Amino acid sequence: MATARGPAARRRSGRGRTPGRAEDLGHIVSGLRIGTRGSDLALWQARAVATAIEASDGPPCELKVIRTSGDRLPHADLTEVGGKRLFVKEIEEALIAREIDVAVHSAKDLPAVVPAGLAVRGYLQRADARDGLVLPASANPPPNSTATALLTRLGPKPRVGTSSVRRIAQLAMLHHDATFVPIRGNLDTRLRKVDDGPYDAIVLAVAGLRRLGFTNRLSAALTIDECVPAPGQGAIAMETRADDTVTSDVVARIDDADTGAAVTAERTLVEALGGGCQMPIGAHAVVAGTELRIDAVVSTLDGRRAPRFQAQGDRAAPAALGQALAARLVDAGAAEILAEVSRAQTPEVDRS
């Protein structure tokens, strides 16, 4: 487990205390250990949390870099080796073991149900939740083109790089003859692959591109109508031990309530459907005054069946809204679609 100092922790360690160790001293916290993956994007997100905590008169923060199973299996098919929980498992284990005090995750990678003894305590303000189409640097696409128009310009059978079944299912509806090629790796690795590899385009989260300074590589953002994002996409989640009220109070100071309401509705919908990060479920909620509006879709892998509904409800009751919309999707056949997808993703076992 590698260690990096948080912004203010690098400036003030405080004589007589152990930097990076959280101690329950009533309402005083002497240093917070923030657990994160080691990718550039994960570190950006963890530093954003540390900066926000310290700017809110919170304690100095120390980053603990934890290598996850997902990092150790860069070429594996996630549907066959445990899904996106592989990107949070070791971090959550470190949290349970009290090796860290706060776990920072991309909310879209965090399963709808967290382990016993842990709780998601807050979210930073959400960035752009949309998916983005990225063409090779040499492509020189027309300015202000829509994603659908760019897909059409790629020819009759474009090779699109994405390993997300949600993206594949929805993009298949936009371009029926597209071929989808798996792609893994950190963001900069994927950008190199689209420039050098066998892809006509790749699909990435707009938020990640912007956070790491690659906005110029965004050829076109997919509208919510074109592709409903992953639940939690664009949001940064902060997870603590459920019984750690002191750290939870620190996190609560920087929680963005609107993001929390939206992501709670999205995650509750996924939980009610019995889905996971590797299922073709799109959900996107936004706050409008006292109301919360959510758009959700469940697709077959080929995109030929895709029940989709919108709903709105009380911003103060996001879980109820997510559950209600999940029930409408189930009535429209979502449970059968997800069961079919699950069977298709389960490797056959040779019992001979």
pLDDT of residue 12: 39
Burial class (CB in 10 A: 0-12, 13-18, 19+), 12: exposed
pLDDT the model gives residue 277: 74
Say what the pLDDT of residue 23 is: 33
Measured CA to CA, the distance from residue 43 to residue 18 in angstroms comes to 23
Which CATH number is correct for 131-221, 3.40.190.10, 3.20.20.10, 3.30.2130.10, 3.30.200.20? 3.40.190.10
Question: By the 8 A CB rule, do 211 and 44 touch?
Answer: yes
CA dist., res. 188 & res. 43, Å (int): 14
Q: Which two tokens stand for residue 69?
A: 């199973």
User: Residues in the chain, how many?
Assistant: 352
- Where are the domains positioned within the chain? 1-124+235-254, 131-221, 256-346
- The CATH code that applies to domain 1-124+235-254 is 3.40.190.10
Nearest to 239 by CA among 109, 130, 79, 126: 109
Q: Residue 247 — left, alpha, or beta (φ > 0 → left; ψ -120 to 50 → alpha)? A: alpha
Q: What is the pLDDT of residue 142?
A: 87
SS3 state at 286: strand
SS3 at position 142: coil
What per-residue confidence (pLDDT) applies to 79?
52
Domain 256-346 has CATH 3.90.1150.10: no
State the catalytic residues.
109
DSSP 175-235: -TT-EEE---S-HHHHHHHHHHSS-SEEEEEHHHHHHTT-GGG--EEPPTTT-PPPTTTT-
Tokens (6 digits) for 257? 């309530």
In order along its 352 residues, the chain shows pLDDT tens digits of 666 655 554 443 333 333 333 333 333 445 899 999 999 999 999 999 999 999 999 999 999 999 998 777 665 554 544 555 788 999 999 999 999 999 999 999 999 999 999 999 999 999 999 999 999 999 988 888 999 999 999 999 999 999 999 999 999 999 999 999 999 889 999 999 999 989 999 999 999 999 999 999 999 999 999 999 999 999 999 999 999 999 999 999 999 999 999 999 999 999 999 987 789 999 999 999 999 999 999 999 999 999 999 999 999 999 999 999 999 999 999 999 999 999 988 754 333 3
Query: pTM of whole model > 0.75?
Result: yes
Helix axes 334-345, 318-331, angle to 10 degrees: 80
Q: Tell me whether domains 131-221 and 256-346 share a fold.
A: no
